[in-house]
Amino acid sequence: MSFRRLSLLAAALLLTATVVVTSARAQTAVISDFTLKRADNSALTLSSLSGRKAVVVVFSNAACPFSRLYQGRLTELTSAYAGRGVEFLFVTAPINLEQTAETLDTDKLKVKTSGADVAYLTDEGLKTVALLGVTKTPEVVVLQPGSGGFTVRYRGAIDDNPQMEAYAKDHYLKNALDAVLAGQAAAVSEKRASGCLIKKN
């Protein structure tokens, strides 16, 4: 075998190992707690949801075209998994200099599910954004409760086609939820999201 082929084989093995390690790390990161604010300024803590089978944190922004494209899909997923012990938390995230997490108009950010409005939560100081490592809207994180806290089981895109729902082939969020509910590891634990960059403070 030539030196060139050996080099290519070594590079391929290194890349595979990196992907496996990254995937394993993504599915073992544990979050102890975080706090979000409701519209009435009351606090919602992650730890208060320890009785759920999974918690999906959705970061979105009404001004982001990608967020609007996914609103219907998120509505369907919320309704489909509500009776299966899955809690969806919808969180506002700023995407430009004029908006901040504290001043976004949450009345414009509603998701219909089972005929009721689900108000978005506020992430003061973008602490949860930083903790969960999200960078775009919309981006989701699937958390599974356990004895030591909440394990990150998936982070990233909702599916592989933001523009055309009918042409989506890989439903990353749905697949991750199905895996968690079945007591299995998600086949894909992290997928880069397409969307609007979150404006950090």
Q: In terms of residue numbers, what domain contains 80?
A: 29-197
Would residue 23 count as lying in a domain? Answer: no
Q: What is the pTM of this model?
A: 0.79
Q: What is the CATH number of the domain that holds 164?
A: 3.40.30.10
Q: Is 39 exposed, middle or buried (0-12, 13-18, 19+ CB in 10 A)?
A: exposed
Asked whether residue 68 carries a pLDDT value surpassing 50, the answer given is yes
Would residue 147 count as lying in a domain? Answer: yes
**Helix (H) or strand (E) run with residue 197 in it:** strand 196-197
Would residue 20 count as lying in a domain? Answer: no
Would residue 22 count as lying in a domain? Answer: no
Asked whether residue 99 carries a pLDDT value surpassing 90, the answer given is no
**Four-residue CA torsion sign, 98, 39, 43, 66:** negative
To the nearest whole number, what is the mean pLDDT of the chain? 83
Structurally, how many domains does the chain consist of? 1
Q: What is the per-residue pLDDT across 148-189, written as a single tens digit (0 to 9) for each? A: 899 999 999 999 999 999 999 999 999 999 999 999 999 999
Look at residue 118 in the predicted model and tell me its pLDDT: 61
pLDDT band at 5 (very low <50, low <70, confident <90, very high): low
> How far apart are alpha carbons 51 and 34 in whole angstroms?
16
> How far apart are alpha carbons 126 and 103 in whole angstroms?
12
Contacts of 71 (CB under 8 A, 6+ apart): 111
Would residue 11 count as lying in a domain? Answer: no
Would residue 5 count as lying in a domain? Answer: no
Contacts of 193 (CB under 8 A, 6+ apart): 134, 135, 136, 138, 139, 140, 156, 157, 158
Q: What is the DSSP string of 55-123?
A: EEEEEE-TT-HHHHHHHHHHHHHHHHHHTTTEEEEEEE---STT--TTTS-GGG-EEEETTEEEEPBB-
Would residue 4 count as lying in a domain? Answer: no
Would residue 77 count as lying in a domain? Answer: yes
3-state DSSP of 60-74:
ECCCCHHHHHHHHHH
